[in-house]
Amino acid sequence: MANLLWAIILGYLFLRPFISEIDFKVLAYFLNGIFVISGSLYLIIKRPIKFTSIDKVILIFLLSLVISTVFSEDISNSAGSLSAYLPLIFLFYVVRTLDQIKIRQLIYVLISSAILVSIYSLCGLYVISNFVSQYLAKNPGYPYAKELLVRKRAYLPFVSPNILANYLVMVSMVSLGAVIQRLKNDKKGLLLFSNLFCLSIGFIALFLTKSMGGWITFVFSIFFFFILGKMVRRNTLIIILLVLAVFALVFGMRMASEEEFTKPTFSVHKRLSYWKETVDIIKEHPLTGIGPGNLILTESRNSHNSYLQILAEMGPLGLISWLAMVFLFIENGLKRLRSKEAVYYGLGILFCGVSFALHNIIDFSFFIPEAAFLWWIVFGIVFTEPVRPLE
């Protein structure tokens, strides 16, 4: 029974990046329901979870969601948004029960799924976009779709290039850690090839997102990965300089664009206006927030800063509990590095989560379940027993 439930959970996680809760709402609800039922049964069968400080933080986070929903300006909408968090929190607890073998299986499924995501995003950019262009030429409207085509940026299967970029950076950090760990242990084979392929094709897709935020978090994560891994040598510096050169190239391509809205400066100005408008909403609802899912700005449904948006929607209690989660994740992630057996694998897990937390300073992947689920997975992993490298 447990093996069947585990297979269902792995299948769900493999498909998760492809099921947009915006484009396939009914299907997403259906799959989330299957996962919650399977996850609940799996938790009942597995060993009990010890109640620790992280569970108190999760409880406070849930409490802030409930309170902000009760005092929401649109309770029905907030209740719907509240339900989107439940599968993610369930996922955290399912991962916490996993042993090392199950975690290795989980990581392998995530890597395999990420390879398909990268391939799909490239097909979307070079193949599917041609059919979409022909359709839009005959059918007026759809300004957002036309804007994405003009930008010539990879974004599928997500709603924006920036969300795809954050997803790719997170997966790349896990793959990087696994690759270095296997090379250090002189272990080759299919898993090494899979992670190298995931890194390579993911890097290409990340480049084609032309996401400034994605590249900033990638550069930061790569740099500190090598610092903490004590790998700052000549070859490492060359890799870092290469990544910086690609970042500069992406920046130059965006600046050279003839369309004003594709330039980085336009993006910065827009974000500043979103943040200012969000701060005004926070001032109007300082205690319980406006309610989950109720943030609507003049030109956007997101403030492009998840920390501000959490404060605006869930109030101070929501933001404090989220910051506590990030702090405990980093603290536990660093503690796990003391185990010399799998330090690079641990670094990959750590910077997968750190890149998510960083990217959400300038974007909103926290509110996109098909990308955010990766955070809840690595969040759960750092609260399990230390993991050995993939065999």
Q: Please check the confidence at residue 314 and state whether its pLDDT lies above 50.
A: yes
- Structural domain containing residue 304: 2-381
User: Measured between alpha carbons, how far is 364 from 280 in angstroms, rounded to an integer?
Assistant: 18
Section 218-228 average pLDDT: 87
How far, rounded to the nearest angstrom, does the alpha carbon of residue 180 sit from its chain's CA centroid?
22
Averaged pLDDT for residues 355-381: 95
In whole angstroms, how large is the CA radius of gyration of the chain?
21
pLDDT beyond 90 at 152: no
Q: Is the pLDDT of residue 117 over 80?
A: yes
* Residue 318, token pair as written in the block: 């929501």
**Can you list the alpha helix ranges (DSSP code H) found in the chain?**
2-15, 25-45, 53-70, 75-96, 100-123, 129-138, 143-151, 161-184, 190-209, 212-228, 234-256, 264-284, 306-336, 343-359, 369-381
Task: Give the per-residue pLDDT at 391.
Answer: 47
Which pLDDT belongs to residue 125?
84
Residue 226 or 129, more confident: 226
Which range (89-98, 222-231, 248-257) has the least confidence? 248-257
Which of 227-231, 354-358, 387-391 has maximum average pLDDT?
A: 354-358
**Is residue 335 classed as helix, strand or coil in its secondary structure?**
helix
pLDDT at 58: 95
pLDDT on residue 8? 96
Question: For residue 349, which of 172, 216, 200 has the smallest C-alpha distance?
Answer: 172
Average of pLDDT values for 72-83?
87
The pLDDT assigned to 265 comes to 46
The confidence score (pLDDT) of residue 59 equals 95
Which pLDDT does position 261 carry in this prediction? 43
Query: CB under 8 Å to 90, separation ≥6 — which residues?
Result: 35, 36, 39, 40
Angstrom distances, CA of residue 192 to CA of 111, 183, 188, 290, 305: 11, 8, 6, 47, 36
How crowded is the C-beta side of 77, counted as CA atoms within 13 Å?
Answer: 12
Q: What is the pLDDT of residue 73?
A: 82
Q: In whole angstroms, what is the distance from residue 385 CA to residue 55 CA?
A: 16
Task: Look at the chain and report how many structural domains it folds into.
Answer: 1
- Which tens digits make up the pLDDT trace of 177-208? 999 888 887 777 788 889 999 999 999 999 89
228-273 pLDDT per residue, tens: 877 656 555 666 666 666 666 655 655 555 454 445 445 677 888 8
Question: CA-CA distance, 8 to 31, in Å (whole number)?
Answer: 10
Region label for 358, one of left (φ > 0), alpha (ψ between -120 and 50) or beta (otherwise) = alpha
Amino acid 128: pLDDT: 65
Could you tell me how many residues make up the chain?
A: 391
Confidence label for 144 from pLDDT (cuts 50, 70 and 90):
low
Q: Give the residue from 123, 127, 193, 190 showing the smallest Cα distance to 156.
A: 123
Average pLDDT, the chain: 85
Of the listed ranges 43-47, 332-336, 372-376, the least confidently predicted one is 43-47
Could you tell me if residue 389 is inside a domain? no
Residue 240 maps to a domain:
yes
The 3-class SS string of 309-327 reads HHHHHHHHHHHHHHHHHHH
Is 391 a domain residue? no
Of 218 and 238, more confident: 218
* Averaged pLDDT, 75-97: 91
- Residue 171 tokens read as 């997966």
- Render 339-381 in DSSP notation, one character per residue: -GGGHHHHHHHHHHHHHHHHHTTTS-GGG-HHHHHHHHHHHHH
134-138, 348-352, 354-358: the lowest-pLDDT one: 134-138
Residues 213-231 have a mean pLDDT of 85
Q: Show the tokens assigned to 227.
A: 């610092």
337's tokens? 């590095």
Q: What percent of the chain has pLDDT over 90?
A: 52
- What was the pLDDT predicted at 232? 58
Task: Give me the mean pLDDT over the 371-377 stretch.
Answer: 97
Q: What is the pLDDT of residue 264?
A: 47
Tell me, what's the pLDDT at 390? 45
**pLDDT at site 347:** 94
Give the residue with greater pLDDT, 112 vs 84.
112
Q: Which candidate, 24, 23, 6, places its Cα nearest to that of 14?
A: 6
Please give the pLDDT value at position 124: 84
Residue pLDDT, tens place only, 271-302:
888 999 999 999 999 999 999 989 988 888 88
